[in-house]
Amino acid sequence: MSLLTISGLALAVPSAGEWRTLVEEVDLTIGAGEAVGLVGESGSGKSMTARAVLGLTPPGARVSGSIVFDGAEVTSLGAKELRALRARRIGMIFQDPRAHINPVRSVGDFLTEAMVANLGLPAREAAARAVRLLAEVGIGDGARRLRQYPHELSGGLLQRVMIASVLALEPDLILADEPTTALDVTTQSEVMAILDELRRERGMAMLLITHDLELAAATCDRLAVMYAGRIVEAREAGSLTAAPLHPYTSGLLLSRPRLEETVHRLLVIPGRPVAAFEADPGCAFAPRCAHALAACGEARPVFDGTVACTRSAELTLQGES
Amino acid sequence: MSRLGGLGTAAAALLAVVAVTTLAAPLLAPYDPDFPDLLSALAGSSSSHPLGADALGRDVLSRLMYGARTTLLGPALVICVSSVVGTALAITAAWAGGRVDAVISRVLDVLFAVPGIVFALITVAVLGPGIPGVVAGLAVAYTPYVARVVRSAALRERSLPYVAAAWVQGRSAFAICVRHLLPNLRPIIVAQSVSALGFAVIDVAAISFLGLGVQPPAADWGLMVKSGFDSAMRGQPLEAISAGVLIALVVASVSVLGDRLGRTV
Amino acid sequence: MSFLLKRLAGLAVVLLVASFLVYGLLYLVPGGPMAFLLGNRSGTPEQVAAIRAQYRLDDPFLLRYLSWLGDALTGDFGSSLVYRQEVAALIGSRVATTVLLVGYATVLISAGGIAMGLLAGLRGGRLDTAIGVLSSLFLATPPFVVGVLLAIVFSVGLGWFPVFGPGEGLLDRLYHLTLPAITLSLASAAFLARITRASVREELNREHVETARARGFGERHIVRRHVLRNASIPVVTVTGLNIAGLIAGSVVVENIFALDGLGSLFVRAILQRDFAIVQAVVLVLVTAFVLINLLVDLCYSALDPRLSR
Ligand SMILES: Nc1ncnc2c1ncn2[C@@H]1O[C@H](COP(=O)(O)OP(=O)(O)OP(=O)(O)O)[C@@H](O)[C@H]1O
Ligand SMILES: [Mg+2]
């Protein structure tokens, strides 16, 4: 049995007197210790999906479908059980550590707060453990760091602090929402490597949210590609990148500059991404798709667990070269 | 009117009624505001004196109608002077930048720390009790409020391309400030001035209440609260209550209006 | 530390300029200082000579200013023409009432205003609306109107509180100061409630609060450890500015309730053109304002680690 099973998840928020669908018909599973990448352009509903797993949906949101974590249905949990789930079982790493860590509390406060409140550790022990964790994420001189305030640390260091704070609670699943997007390019890969290595050692599962298909493919066992609030393709990472089945996946793969070759022309997907509530009745990607037929604009293709494209069988798409 | 919303429209209507009433007071008021009818001194509400009469037997309603003149004149002057001076200082500071800006800002910060009423009391001490002293002091005290807001708006505005374009076309700094900057800043200046007007009404009325502003026997709301307080001690609170409530209503309307104008900027 | 020194130096400069202006004002009076000092009184030649001597009107301006400043620094503000008493003694005997009044009002404001703001910000709904309406009402009503209305209702009407006078002994004094303190505090409490509500709301929507939620902390824990602490920064600033406003407001309130504080002394001195008192009170007030501002800044940087040096 898998650790997390999302099926038929839909999420809508009230806006100007009507419901705006942000996420629709999302199916996703993560096994224990497995890393799954959730990839898509901005506004496709990746963060919303991750938040729904923790019950952190916007106020007034309507959630339907099912989210089963370790045998328990998350959407019907009471406030107390939901808190217990967040406290011990699922950890979340946010994109911008500078905004997501309280600026007026010290790094030590941030790290030990959850150990004291959720694990009942004595403050002294929690501090000692925080220093060890900082060392593991590559921050030496932990005792001094604990006394510092967030503004005294660089973004990269702060994101390591955030990672340490999640590892401290030994959760079964880590939701990492673009953990490296806010960092500069040189620290991105370091932070990603630390996160992946430490979670592997501890056998924690991870949902990695990113724009970067290549990064996700390098880190994750399986990938799910999201477009306009829906999963359009979900497969084992290697085969998805080698032979994508959905034109959007192919587009994402081709639009990435490669370092090792001279690129003469960078392919881009024409048009702009749409949110779920803006999508036309047919395939949401059809207006931007090079392979779209008239029929694509009429009926919405069904996601069969692998891909959501009516033409996937007939097309041969270009993957990673 | 729709951009003012329901409450804003009501506030504007109330202020309009006050303005019309006070302008047409000679036509509308049932009595001469200064006529002492000693027989009805401290009279309660009756058909002849709807809001009673004061300690000298003057009709309270008539005095309220006339009283808006002195009550609102002082604050209006304060706001005019402080808005003009504040805007000029703010634009100068924003345009010149550097040391000029630093000096102006620093001085304004210090003025900011001293409450308006204290300034007014100092100028009254020098010039003697009366509206001129009060207006002089409050105008100085209110200048930083306008200047702060306008300065930051002017700094924003200054960095916009149209200013650079005018500059490149060889317009003088003065011409750019007056022709381009000022019209664009106008909504902010107006909103800020209206908001400040509410506070000015409170301050001027308070100083008149202390006996240092408008002088008796003029009909003035602040003074009426004062004389009405004495009447209340003698059992007739109508004058103090009606004058006090009227001041509060006007201040509330002005601040609602300022708030709505500020929001639409 | 150097920050504190810098601030203290700035404070000294402000006070120096203020003292110069206060002293110089006397010479701006139409008719010059002599006309002013004599005021409505017609001076006999002896009186005129006495005033000339006391104010050293025959010395050059700067010299006079410096000697006045030197005296003022040692606490000697000259003597009052009306009371025929040392100004310092006059002020000293009245400062306690004002300090007590302002202190009392500060307690009321901090307790009432912050509590109302927290309730409105954290609970929301009907309570929020009610507190919003009430605070608009209090903000629009000038303190002197509030004072007069309170006195009419609770002293003249219901007889619960004395109208006038300062009372004897601490408890009786506090009892006498209750209506004045409420008068002084309503508008500021309303303002503080608004600021508190706004900053609590803002803080509740911050990303770091979302992190705290995602970490499974209870709502109480989040409010206590993350919302209140962060929201206290603007609240402290506004409280400080409010106290400066209270000192000015006490001038009005003392006059309504006939309290013998600094404010009523000030107003009487202005009416009687007793300039030595005016100068001294203004200096005392400006010093108080500047000191309060400094204190607020210090609290501010203590509360916000990003500002501490
Ligand atoms: N609190 C909210 N209320 C209403 N709509 C929201 C809210 N938060 C996000 N949205 C909308 O939901 C859609 C999906 O947002 P989501 O944050 O899940 O996107 P994302 O895939 O994570 O994008 P990004 O890469 O920019 O983080 C977007 O169109 C966004 O505008
Ligand atoms: Mg996101």
Distance, CA of A52 to CA of C223 (rounded, Å): 23
Whether residue A111 is predicted with pLDDT greater than 90 in this model: the reply is yes
DSSP C89-120: HHHHHHHHHHHHHHHHHHHHIIIIIHHHHHHH
Instruction: Work out the mean pLDDT of chain B and round it to a whole number.
Output: 84
Give the tokens for residue C161. 């509180």
- State the nearest Cα–Cα gap between C231 and chain B, in angstroms: 23
Q: Do residues A310 and A301 make contact, with C-beta atoms less than 8 angstroms apart?
A: yes
Query: Under 8 Å CB-to-CB from C215, ≥6 apart: which residues?
Result: A86, A87, A91, A92, A113, A114, A118, A165
Edge to edge, the sheet with strand A72-73 lists A18-30, A4-15, A62-69, A72-73
pLDDT tens-digit readout, C217-272: 998 999 999 998 888 888 887 888 788 888 889 999 998 888 889 999 999 888 88
Radius of gyration of chain B (CA): 22
Distance, CA of A244 to CA of A225 (rounded, Å): 10
CB < 8 Å to B125, chain C? 25, 269-270, 273, 275, 278
Residue B165: which region, alpha, beta or left (left: phi > 0; alpha: psi -120 to 50)? alpha
What SS3 class is residue B180? helix
Q: How many CB atoms lie within 10 A of CB C154?
A: 16
> To the nearest whole percent, how much of chain C has pLDDT over 70?
93
Cβ B121–C251 below 8 Å, yes or no? Answer: yes
The CATH number given to C94-308 is 1.10.3720.10
Q: Confirm whether A43 is domain-assigned.
A: yes
Q: What's the rounded Cα separation, in Å, for the pair A216 and A39?
A: 7
- C184 vs C31, residue with greater confidence: C184
Residue nearest to atom 16 of ligand 1 (CA): A45
pLDDT range class, residue B1, cuts 50, 70, 90: very low
Count how many domains chain A has: 1
Question: By alpha-carbon position, which residue is closest to atom 24 of ligand 1?
Answer: A42
Structure-block tokens of residue C30: 């139409």
Q: How far, in Å, are A141, A153, A170, C63, C210 from residue A130 at the CA level?
A: 11, 16, 13, 67, 22
Tell me the CATH number at B159: 1.10.3720.10
* B234 occurs within a structural domain: yes
Distance A277 CA to ligand 1 centre (A): 11
Nearest-Cα distance to chain C for B146, in Å, is 18
Partners of A209 in the beta sheet?
A38, A177
Q: In this model, does residue A321 exceed pLDDT 70?
A: no
DSSP strands (E only) in chain B: none
Q: Is residue A137 part of a domain?
A: no
Q: Is C58 on the interface with A (CB under 8 A)?
A: no
Q: Is residue A142 part of a domain?
A: no
Residue A116 domain flag:
no
A300 and C CB contact within 8 Å:
no
B212 and chain C in contact, CB less than 8 A: yes
Classify each residue of C19-58 as buried b or exposed e, where b means 16 or more C-beta atoms within 10 Å of its C-beta.
beebbebbeebeeebeebbbbeeeeeeeeeeebeeebeee
What spacing in Å lies between the alpha carbon of C199 and ligand 2's midpoint? 26
* Range with top average pLDDT, A160-164, A298-302, C47-51, C77-81: A160-164
Over the stretch A129-174, which tens digit does the pLDDT of each residue have? 999 999 999 998 999 999 999 999 999 999 999 999 999 999 999 9
State the average pLDDT over residues B114-122.
86
Give the containing element (helix H, strand E) for B248.
helix B238-264
Ranges of beta strands (E only) in chain A are: 4-15, 18-30, 35-39, 62-69, 72-73, 90-93, 173-177, 205-210, 222-227, 230-236
A149: nearest CB among C217, C303, C305: C305
Q: What is the mean pLDDT of residues C50-57?
A: 73
Residue span of the structural domain in which B8 resides: 2-39+55-263
Cβ contact, residue pair B115, C248, below 8 Å: yes
Asked if C217 is an interface residue toward chain A (Cβ–Cβ < 8 A), one would say: yes
Which residues of chain A make contact with C214, given a CB cutoff of 8 A?
54, 56, 86, 91-92, 94
Residue A71: inside a domain, yes or no?
A: yes
Residue A131: inside a domain: no
- Does the residue B90 lie in any domain? yes
Burial (CB count <10 Å: 0-12, 13-18, 19+), residue A235: buried
Place of tokens 């224990």: A32
Which residue do the tokens 């923790």 mark?
Answer: A54
Q: Among A11, A41, A46, A178, say which to mutate for ligand 1: greatest number of ligand atoms within 8 Å of CB.
A: A46
- C213 lies within 8 A of chain A by CB: yes
* Nearest Cα to Cα of residue B54 among B77, B70, B24, B31: B31
* Residue partners of C113: CB distance under 8 A and separation at least 6: C185, C188, C189, C190, C191, C192, C193, C196
Please answer yes or no on whether A86 and C230 come within 8 Å at the CB atom.
no
Is the confidence at residue B135, as pLDDT, over 70?
yes
CA distance A218 to A10: 29
Any domain includes A192 = yes
Q: Which residues pair with C225 in a beta bridge?
A: none
Specify whether the CB–CB gap between C192 and C119 falls below 8 A: no
| pLDDT score, position C83 | 79
**What pLDDT shows up at residue A261?**
54
pLDDT at A266: 54
CB-CB contact of A60 with A14 (8 Å): yes
Contact (Cβ atoms closer than 8 angstroms) between residue C130 and residue C207: no
E-strand stretches of A163-301:
173-177, 205-210, 222-227, 230-236
Instruction: Determine contact, residues A191/A183, Cβ cutoff 8 Å.
Output: yes
The answer, yes or no, to whether residue B191 has pLDDT greater than 90, is: no
Its ipTM equals 0.88
Which chain C residues touch A86 with a CB distance below 8 Å?
213-216
Nearest to C149 by CA among C112, C108, C188, C186: C186
Q: CA-CA distances (angstroms) from residue C297 to A105, C176, C202, C291?
A: 19, 33, 22, 10
Task: Please state whether the predicted TM-score (pTM) of the whole model is above 0.90.
Answer: no
**Beta partners for residue A39, in sequence order:** A210, A225
Q: Is A132 exposed, middle or buried (0-12, 13-18, 19+ CB in 10 A)?
A: exposed
Residue C293 has pLDDT above 90, yes or no: no
Across the range A4-20, mean pLDDT stands at: 92
pLDDT in tens, B42-89: 777 777 778 877 777 788 788 888 888 888 889 999 999 999 999 999
Question: How deeply is A171 buried, as exposed, middle or buried, from its count of CB atoms within 10 A (0-12, 13-18, 19+)?
Answer: buried
Task: Name the residue with the closest Cα to ligand 1, atom 18.
Answer: A45
Does any CB of chain C come closer than 8 Å to the CB of residue B251? yes
- Residue A259: the pLDDT is 54
Count of CB atoms within 10 A of residue A259's CB? 5
Check which CATH number belongs to the domain holding A23 and give it.
3.40.50.300
Taking the CA of residue A45 as reference, the ligand 1 atom at the shortest distance is 18
8 A C-beta contact, residue B117 and residue C251: yes
The count of domains in chain B is 1
Nearest bound ligand to CA A38? Answer: 1
Question: Above 60 in pLDDT, residue C164?
Answer: yes
Confidence class for position B110, pLDDT limits 50, 70, 90: confident
